[in-house]
Amino acid sequence: MALSDIKEINHRCNGGDTAAVLFSGGTTGIPKQINHSHRSITFMVDRMEWGWPTKPNENWLIVAPFTHIYGFLTGVTNPLLKSGTVFIPGAFDPKFIVEKLSSEKLLCLGEPPPSIYQALLSVEEFENSQMPYLRVCPGGGAPFPLAVHKMWQEKTGIPIYEGYGMTEIAPISVNTVQSGTKMGSAGKAVPDTVIEIVDIETRRKVLKPGETGEIRVRGPHMMLEYESNIEETKTTIRDGFIYNGDIGVLDDEGFLFITDRKKT
């Protein structure tokens, strides 16, 4: 083929075009394909950095799958933002991870759920291990037992900053130094993000602090749609909010507590 036969490729795009295709966790059914725009990914990266600030050229240890939102953000986009290096173990081996945290200059532990922290705490060598470089310990994916928070901080000197999100929009809320922390909560809303608790019956009446209901969220980092699933998209995105099927409560200070799951 001659060069003259090759047609020019149009690379132009705008912020609303699909940039990444991710998948829901599948905890309540078959994983759904979720489309995110260039714009929403940019906003997600900014809010991750707001919640768990990092420094240039830091080393990340990643245990979450990249096809889901936290693995994608902590393993791909946010390390790129600060020219970070990503260490990806071939498989999750708690003893191996503890050894690497002790021997390598790993500063950021990439958003593991409580089960990962519990597995690391159960390693016999953990008790006497030193992790001199570890600085950032995010938490997400499921509510953290208070015992895990306390044990991890007692043994490492580093708090777990728990947050909350979903592939459709993440992060939603984070415990942070600047906005405050409260053990057992998922933190406060990230910038330019609205969290409301609505009644379960009509899903429209906004409840007062302290009242339990369904969580709905609105922010600039929302998904575009579920690929080839118009009905599910309409059910999830209503009145400009994502209804995520979780049950929770906001306290008087704006801290979010997840109490149950509505979707089955």
pLDDT tier for residue 247 given thresholds of 50, 70 and 90: very high
Global confidence as pTM: 0.89
Has residue 95 got a pLDDT over 90? yes
**44-56 average pLDDT score:** 95
Q: What percent of the chain has pLDDT over 70?
A: 94
SS3 for the chain is CCHHHCCCCCCCCCCCCEEEEEECCCCCCCCCEEEEEHHHHHHHHHHHHHHCCCCCCCEEEECCCCCCHHHHHHHHHHHHHCCCEEECCCCCCHHHHHHHHHHCCCCEEECCCHHHHHHHHCCHHHHHCCCCCCCECEECCCCCCHHHHHHHHHHHCCCCEEEEEECCEEEEEECECCCECCCCCCCEECCCCEEEEECCCCCCCECCCCCCEEEEEECCCCCCEECCCHHHHHHHEECCEEEEEEEEEECCCCCEEEEEECCC
Give the domains, in start order, of the chain with CATH numbers. Answer: 18-261 (3.40.50.12780)
User: How confident is the model at residue 5, as a pLDDT?
Assistant: 61
Q: How confident is the model at residue 187 (pLDDT cuts 50, 70, 90)?
A: very high
Quickly state the pLDDT bin for 253 (edges 50, 70, 90).
Answer: very high
